[in-house]
């Protein structure tokens, strides 16, 4: 994810730092784990756009 964010940052925005990237990765992991444990796999498709926005907005 760090490489993806560095490329995105090249166009504009804040540079990614290890702490924010780690926190975002763990958040995405938690959302996925929760959905799997609740047998709500389909909800991950609905969550994906919101998670992507969260990640990108953290560095704008």
* CA separation for the pair 60, 55 (Å, rounded): 9
Residue numbers of the domain that contains 34:
2-57
What's the structural domain count of the chain? 1
The pLDDT of residue 35 is 94
Alpha-carbon gap, residue 43 to 34, rounded angstroms:
10
- Four-CA torsion 45, 4, 25, 12, nearest 10 degrees: -100
**How sure is the predictor about 18, in pLDDT bands with cuts at 50, 70 and 90?**
confident
pTM of the complete model beyond 0.85? no
Which residue, 57, 11, 60, is CA-closest to 27?
57
Q: Find out whether 11 and 56 touch, Cβ atoms under 8 Å.
A: no
Predicted confidence band of residue 8 (pLDDT cuts 50, 70, 90): low
Confidence of residue 56 (pLDDT cuts 50, 70, 90): confident
Give percent of the chain with pLDDT exceeding 70.
87
Give yes or no for residue 11 having a pLDDT over 70: no
Contact 11, 1 (CB under 8 A): no
């Amino acid at each position: 994810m760090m490489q993806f964010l560095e490329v995105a940052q090249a166009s504009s925005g804040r540079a990614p730092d290890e702490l924010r990237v780690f926190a975002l990765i763990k958040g995405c992991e938690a959302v996925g784990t929760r959905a799997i444990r609740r047998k709500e796999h389909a909800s991950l498709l609905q969550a994906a756009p919101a998670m992507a926005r969260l990640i990108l907005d953290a560095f704008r």
